[in-house]
A and B are shown apart, each in its own frame.
Chain A
Amino acid sequence: MPNTATPCGDPRHRHLPRQPGDVVAAVLHAAAADTDIALLVAELDPGAEPVVRWINLGATELLGRAASDLEARPLEAFLRRSDGGSLATMFRRERPTSTAVTLRTAVGELVPCRASAIPAPESRLWTLRIDPAQTDLELALRASADAHEHRFKTLAERSPVPTMMSEQGMRLGHVNDALCGLLGVPADKLIGMGWTAYAHPEDLDAITTTVVAVLAGAERETEARFVDSAHRVRYTNMRFTPLHTPGVGDGFVATLEDVTERRAFEEQLNHQATHDSLTGLPRRTRLWEHISTAMADPEAGLTCMFLDLDNFKVVNDSLGHTAGDALLVEIAHRLSSSVRPGDLVARFGGDEFVVVCSTGSLDTALEVAERILGVLSEPVVLEGVEIHPRASIGVVLRGPDHHSADDLIRDCDIAMYEAKSRGKGRVTLLDERARNDACDTLSLVADLRQALEERRITLCYQPIVRHRGGQTELASVEALARWQHPERGAIPADVFVRLAEEHGLVKELGELVLDAACAAMSAWQDELGPLAPPRVNVNLSALQMSDHQLVASVERTIERHGLCPERVCLEITESALMKDPGTASLILGRLRDHGVQVAIDDFGTGYSSLAYLRRLPVNYLKVDRSFVAELQEGHTAVAQAVISLAHSLGIDVVAEGVETPAQTLMLEQMGCSLLQGFGISLPLTAADLVDWRRSGCPAPPTDTP
Chain B
Amino acid sequence: MRAVGLDLAATLDSLDQMASQRPVAAQIVATSNEENAGAAELAAMLGADVALAAKVMKLANSAYFGLSGKVTSLPFAVTVVGFNTVRSIATVALAGIDGAKALPDGFWDTSVHLAAACGTLGPQFGTTTADALCLGLLAPLGSALLHQADTDGYDDLVASTDLGPQRFEAERQRYGLSSPQLTAVALEHWRFSAAMVTVLREVPNGPEGALVRTAYELTGRLVAPGRPRTPLAGLSLNRVTESQAPARLAVIRADVAALRTALGL
Contacts and interface: CB of A to CB of B under 8 A. Distances in A.
Nearest to A4: B20
A167 B130 contact: yes
Interface string B18-29: 011001001101
A86 B16 CA distance: 18
A170 B66 contact: yes
Interface string B182-196: 001100110100100
A69 interface: no
A50 to B, nearest CB: 13
Interface string A194-225: 10100000000000110110011000000000
Contacts of B97: none
Contacts of A167: 82, 128-130
Interface in A251-273: none
A160 B131 CA distance: 29
Interface stretch (B7-15, B150-158, B222-230): B7-15
A114 interface: yes
A86 B176 CA distance: 11
Contacts of B12: 89, 92
Contacts of A212: 67, 70-71
Interface stretch (A185-193, A382-390, A507-515, A645-653): A185-193
A168 interface: yes
Interface string B47-90: 00000000000001001111110110000100111111100000
A85 B131 CA distance: 26
B77 to A, nearest CB: 10
B27 A8 contact: yes
Interface in A73-130: 83, 85-86, 88-89, 92, 94-100, 114
A99 B192 CA distance: 10
Interface residues of A, number: 51
Given A1-B13, A192-B255, A248 B131 contact: yes
A9 interface: yes
A196 B63 CA distance: 11
Contacts of B85: 168, 249
B33 A247 contact: yes
A2 interface: yes
B76 A216 contact: yes
B84 A247 contact: yes
Contacts of B16: 1, 5, 92, 94-95
Nearest to B176: A85
Contacts of A171: 64-66, 119, 129
A7 B27 contact: yes
Contacts of B26: 7-8
A246 interface: yes
Contacts of B36: 246-247
B79 A250 contact: yes
B23 A188 contact: no
A168 B189 contact: no
A156 to B, nearest CB: 13
5 contacts: A92-B12, A114-B194, A170-B65, A211-B67, A248-B82
Given A169-B80, A248-B131, A250-B79, 8 more contacts: A83-B181, A97-B189, A168-B82, A194-B251, A208-B66, A208-B67, A245-B130, A247-B82
Interface of A: 1-2, 4-5, 7-10, 12-13, 83, 85-86, 88-89, 92, 94-100, 114, 133, 167-171, 173-174, 188-189, 191-194, 196, 208-209, 211-212, 215-216, 245-250
